[in-house]
Structures are given as structure tokens and as C-alpha cells.
Amino acid sequence: MTGKINPLSNMITIRQGDSYDLYFQFRTSCGAPIDMTNSVIKMQAVNESEEPVLTKTAEPIDIQKGLFCFTFTPTDTNISIGDYNTDIQFQMSDGRVHTFFPSDVNKVGILRITKQITK
């Protein structure tokens, strides 16, 4: 699995055509897991024309401990090489929406698809 997330640079990098599992766990400021029952976590990446090129919903791994995973498949990552604006949000059971990637409201997240050598 070839991919990485760098929260400091607001970037998720995945090699074109590869698989990648991106895990998130929600915790309080004291480190205790947060029960995310009935929450939905979504990611969208758009091209320069603001058209979606990738939309994913995270799968719960242990929802009561706030653990989720985005599973990217070769079908998901077989898009043009380049940078796409992205964000990741969760919607709570009461309808409130919170963007958590990128964490800085003044920044834009980037999904970078890098070149593969063989197809």
C-alpha cells in the first residue's frame, strides 16, 4: 500500500493505481476515544473546475472508539496524476458538519496522485 498523509502540509499522497488504507481515530483533547455512533465521514477531491474526481465514505472499524478507515482501491486512484483540492468532514447524528482535514480553516487540503512506473 503506497500512500501517506501529512497533516502539517495538508496533503494526502497516493501513487496512481495503488491501494491505500487511511485510518482516523477521533479522541478528546485528553486522549479518550470519542463514540462516533451515527456519524458519517466523507472525503471529496475536486479538479481545477471544481468537479468531483473522487468521493469516499469512511468505513467504521470500531465506531464506539471513533476508529474509521478510508479504503482506496486502484479504481479510486487511477485518476490523472496531479494535485486535487480535498477535505474530509464528519456529519454528526444531529446534522452538524465538521471539517477536520485540513484542520486549519484558512488552508486547502491536497490529494496528490503521483506517477506509477508500470501499469
- pLDDT higher for 68 or 5? 68
Domain count, the chain: 1
> Has residue 86 been placed in a domain?
yes
Tell me the residue range of the domain where 34 lies.
Answer: 3-114
Instruction: Assess contact for 88 and 82: CB atoms under 8 A.
Output: no
CA 49/CA 72 separation, integer angstroms: 23
Q: What is the mean pLDDT of residues 98-102?
A: 92
> Has residue 44 been placed in a domain?
yes
3-class DSSP state of 102: coil
pLDDT greater than 90 at residue 1? no
> Has residue 119 been placed in a domain?
no
The C-alpha torsion from 12 through 34 and 27 to 22, rounded to 10°, is -20
Residues 67-92 have pLDDT tens digits of: 999 999 999 999 999 999 999 999 98
> Has residue 22 been placed in a domain?
yes
pLDDT greater than 70 at residue 119? no
Q: For all residues of the chain together, what is the average pLDDT?
A: 92
Q: What is the pTM of this model?
A: 0.88
Residue 85 belongs to a domain with what CATH number?
A: 2.60.40.10
